[in-house]
Amino acid sequence: MWKALTREISPNINSCELTHLNREPIDFEAAQHQHGLYLEALSACGCQILPLTPEPDLPDSVFVEDTAVVVDEVAVITRPGASSRRPETVSVAKHLEAFKPLARIEAPGILDGGDVLRIANRFFVGLSSRSNQDGLEQLRTILEPHGYVVEAATVTGCLHLKSAVTAIGNDAVLANPAWVDVDQFAVSKVVEVDPTEGYGANALLVNSRLIYPAEFPLTRRRLEEAGFEVITVPASELAKAEGAVTCCSVVF
Ligand code: GLY
pLDDT of residue 67: 99
- pLDDT value, residue 238: 98
Q: What are phi and psi of 133, to 5 degrees?
A: -60, -40
Calculate ∠ Cα 230-244-232, nearest 5°: 25
Per-residue pLDDT tens over the stretch 28-62: 999 999 999 999 999 999 999 999 999 999 999 99
The SS3 call for residue 162 is helix
Instruction: Give the SS3 label for residue 175.
Output: strand
Residue 204's identity, in one-letter code, is L
Residue 74 · residue 100 · CB < 8 Å: yes
For ligand 1, the distance from its centroid to the CA atom of residue 14, given in whole angstroms, is 11
pLDDT by residue (tens digit) across 124-160? 999 999 999 999 999 999 999 999 999 999 999 999 9
pLDDT at 170: 97
CA distance 199 to 207: 23
pLDDT above 70 as % of the chain: 100
Q: Of 85, 86, 88, which is best to mutate to test ligand 1, by the most ligand atoms within 8 angstroms of its C-beta?
A: 85
58 CB within 6 A, ligand 1: no
Contacts with 162 (C-beta within 8 Å, 6 or more apart), sequence order: 65, 114, 115, 116, 117, 126, 201, 202, 244, 246, 247
Active site residue 248: no
DSSP designation for 156 = -
Distance (Å, rounded) from C-alpha 66 to C-alpha 112? 4
**pLDDT band at 200; cut points 50, 70, 90:** very high
* Burial class for 137, CB neighbours closer than 10 Å (0-12, 13-18, 19+): middle
Among the residues of 117-249, which ranges form H helices? 133-143, 161-164, 217-225, 236-239
What pTM did the predictor assign?
A: 0.98
- What are the tens digits of pLDDT across the range 154-188? 999 999 999 999 999 999 999 999 999 999 999 99
Most informative mutation of 78, 111, 242, 248 for ligand 1 (most atoms within 8 A of CB): 242
The residue type of 243 is G
Query: Other CB atoms closer than 10 Å to residue 199's CB: what's the count?
Result: 21
Q: Is 14 in the pocket of ligand 1 (CB under 6 A)?
A: no
Ligand 1 geometric centre to CA of 105 (Å): 19
pLDDT score of 23 = 98
16 lines ligand 1 (CB under 6 A): yes
Domain boundaries, the chain: 2-13+26-251
Query: Closest ligand 1 atom to the C-alpha of 16?
Result: 1
Active site residue 35: no
The dotted CATH code for 2-13+26-251 is 3.75.10.10
